[in-house]
Structure 1
Amino acid sequence: MPTFSASAFQRLTGLESRPQPSVIPTRLPVVMMHGFGIGGSLRRGGHLHEQAMYLRMRGVRAYAPNVSPYNTVRARCQTWQAHIEHILEETHSDAVTVIAHSMGGLDARFLIAQMGMHEHIKALVTVSTPHRGSTLANLVLKQPDAVRSWLADITDWMGTHIIEDGSANSLQTVRELTPSFMKHSFNPNVPDHPDVAYWSYAGQAGRDTPVPLTPLLRYFNTHLYEREGINDGFVSVESARWGTFKGTVDADHVRQVGMDAGFGGANFDANAFYAQIAMQLRSAGW
């Protein structure tokens, strides 16, 4: 029988004394809210499901529900509210924290300011949310009528069929994502609530950054860069800043939710990123 030292045998077997990952004992459940579009819905479980399951393996009571991906904030929030009420009941908790990607952050702000959910949402962390809109919305609205109608028909059809009881109003949603609407209508009517903590992250990739960009976002990235500066292909850093700004994420908009569109080329761990946010929530007492 071969003779091995204890250390050599351990290296050979790779057996660790504590093989399970450390838990993240957040006090409150974490609700992960997705943004506009069906990209994440093409994966089993939908938007942010994989990240929620990763957090669950670390002891976080994480949920990533899905709502109609091509509808307005007001319409989506009816479903979000029902989801959160279900989570509160299931977990026997009186409050949650929210991590929201992209348009999901606008939904969460509306829930808090206009639907009384400030009593049940203690903290909101937004990731690449267009708090000041996106000039990409203007780009869509400037297309010829026939093109706009064609795009609206396709996205509305997908929005109503991809989820049970789905609904869609994609063209109106795009109108409400313009910088003008956000400045003159949404933000004045959706103020931050003093009882809720607001944190934000922004994404950066492509132009004027060392971060690889998913090729499909190259035109959008350039368009935004010329008008708003550094961005992640959909939302600029400046637009994403809100409340306590926690910094930039070296990932484009789709990689922030664990997608790479099959192109690879970026070293970004979305699961670890959201686990980091959960750790910060835990440290803050939530």
Structure 2
Amino acid sequence: MRKIRLLLDQLLILALCNSTVLWAIVPLASWIKVFIVSGLILFYLIYLLSAGGRTDKDKKLSRIAKGSFLIDGAVISLVLHTAAILAFIIIGGSGLWRQLINGLAGYALISFTAFVGIIRLLISSKQVNAVKYISLMFTWYIPVVNILVLKNISKSAKKEFRFEQAKQELDDLRKENEVCKTKYPILMVHGIFFRDWQMFNYWGRVPKELVRNGAEIYYGCQQSANLISVSAGELRDKIEEVIRETGAEKINIIAHSKGGLDSRYAISKLGMDKYVASLVTINTPHYGCNFVDDILAKVPDGLLRFVAKRYNKLFTVLGDTAPDFEKGLRELTHTNCAKLDTELPDDPDIYYLSVMSVMKNVFSAGFPLNLGYILNRKDGTGNDGLVVKESALRGENTLMINHNGNRGLSHGDMIDLFRENIDGFDVREFYVGIVKDLKERGL
């Protein structure tokens, strides 16, 4: 039905695009022509606003659907208008200048339609990446190529709409079940070189999905880079704060990267074992990162201090009280983490799960993860761009995420860093599954 309406709409827009020539060759009274053209202009304005009339309770999804509808329409109109121009040239009878004005005016109208569609997607779509918009900027005037680029943009937008709509329907179906309503609140602990910002959530779209399904979420809020012992002390304070605020006996911790080491330290050395029911570590370097050892051995001390000074200054402005880039980095060496692991035994009263994913090639992620992937290849049977598989899978309970595609899953993919819908792996649903399992365990 949508395709039929789209085609019918384009026939009316085609008439408007070619109204300059049609005015000259259609034998009707002038007042009738004025009436028809006015009606077509009114239709076009309504068309831009309604864009297929598809609505969704999520306004963002409505804008995505309408944006892709306008782009699809522009592609069809572009083909039809080009065919009409050629037909008018063959038929003749309207004059060269009139045909030229008619052609340019029609293309301008179609371009504006596509522009409105693109604006809708720019505002709402997270899956149409910048590369596609930039490609359009440089190819919009190239015949055929512009059509292919527009179709690719529309395809990505429609795929996002279908995915998000299905997710919305799934959440609606299980809303009453509150599958993520665990006995204890959840503390999400970030990794190194990041903070828990309000404007940019480290965990991407994951927390909202968990809350939507009944979870009670808190954040670690430790500094972006420092000694594990210092970060663990900050986590201890946060855990005690959550316990006081909620009245809960314990908490569940989900920690990514170095956050897993910070959490283990707080549990084993700072007395937080009595407040922790479970610890799920995501791509955590329990035994360190060999490539960090390599970097520290090869990078001149002067350069390291220069980078550290700039980093510490920047993150002090961004909210850290005493960030220390160099100390935080040195904590992740294989030597340090292997030694620390012996000092942080698992508590038998706490449920532990270590999760890991791997990239499959250098194109699985952008810089610096693609560089990390290359540097890490000599040290294990797979890595995520920062951590090797053997370092992350620790303890009795392990979960290896095997992605069926050619891409694999990077260190950033596991926290929805890029807000990307990855074929074959729904990161939000993955965390729903993790938390649902905690609930079923009575935690």
Deviation at 1:249, TM superposition (A): 5.6
1:48 is the counterpart of 2:48? no
Is the 1:104–1:129 contact (alpha carbons within 8 Å) kept by the matching residues of 2? yes
Give every structure 1 segment of 4 or more consecutive aligned residues whose post-TM-superposition deviation is greater than 6 Å: 12-18
Distance verdict in 2 for CA 1:188–1:20, change over 3 Å = same
Among 430, 433, 440, the alignment partner of 1:273 is 430
Separation of aligned partners in 2, 1:205 and 1:148 = 27
* 2:427 partner amino acid: A
Match of 2:387 in 1: 235
Deviation at 1:139, TM superposition (A): 3.0
Secondary structure in 1 matching 2:172: coil
Identify which range, 174-183 or 247-256, moves more after superposition.
247-256
Deviation at 1:159, TM superposition (A): 3.0
Distance verdict in 2 for CA 1:140–1:81, change over 3 Å = same
Separation of aligned partners in 2, 1:44 and 1:155 = 20
Is the 1:140–1:148 contact (alpha carbons within 8 Å) kept by the matching residues of 2? no
Identify which range, 20-29 or 133-142, moves more after superposition.
20-29
Secondary structure in 2 matching 1:97: strand
Q: Which has the larger radius of gyration?
A: 2
Separation of aligned partners in 2, 1:18 and 1:121 = 28
Separation of aligned partners in 2, 1:77 and 1:203 = 25
Secondary structure in 1 matching 2:281: strand
Separation of aligned partners in 2, 1:285 and 1:180 = 37
Separation of aligned partners in 2, 1:88 and 1:96 = 8
Is the 2:196–2:219 contact (alpha carbons within 8 Å) kept by the matching residues of 1? no
Deviation at 1:57, TM superposition (A): 1.2
* 2:385 partner amino acid: G
* 1:213 partner amino acid: S
Match of 1:207 in 2: 361
**Aligned residues: CA RMSD:** 2.6
1:246 is the counterpart of 2:399? yes
Q: TM-score, normalised to structure 2's length?
A: 0.56
Q: Which structure is richer in relative contact order (CA contacts within 8 A, separation 6 or more)?
A: 1
Is the 1:206–1:221 contact (alpha carbons within 8 Å) kept by the matching residues of 2? no
- Please give the residue correspondences for 1:1-286 in structure 2 after superposition, counting only pairs within 5 Å: 19=172, 21-22=174-175, 23-24=178-179, 25-38=181-194, 44-48=199-203, 50-142=205-297, 143-163=299-319, 166-184=321-339, 186-207=340-361, 213-216=364-367, 217-243=369-395, 244-248=397-401, 250=403, 251-260=409-418, 266-267=422-423, 268-286=425-443
Match of 1:5 in 2: none
Instruction: Provide the identity percentage.
Output: 25
Distance verdict in 2 for CA 1:45–1:219, change over 3 Å = closer
Secondary structure in 2 matching 1:54: helix
Separation of aligned partners in 1, 2:207 and 2:239 = 15
Secondary structure in 2 matching 1:19: helix
Separation of aligned partners in 2, 1:174 and 1:114 = 21
Deviation at 1:49, TM superposition (A): 6.3
**Structure 2: stretches of 5+ with no match in the other structure:** 1-53, 58-168, 404-408
Secondary structure in 1 matching 2:191: coil
Separation of aligned partners in 2, 1:68 and 1:81 = 13
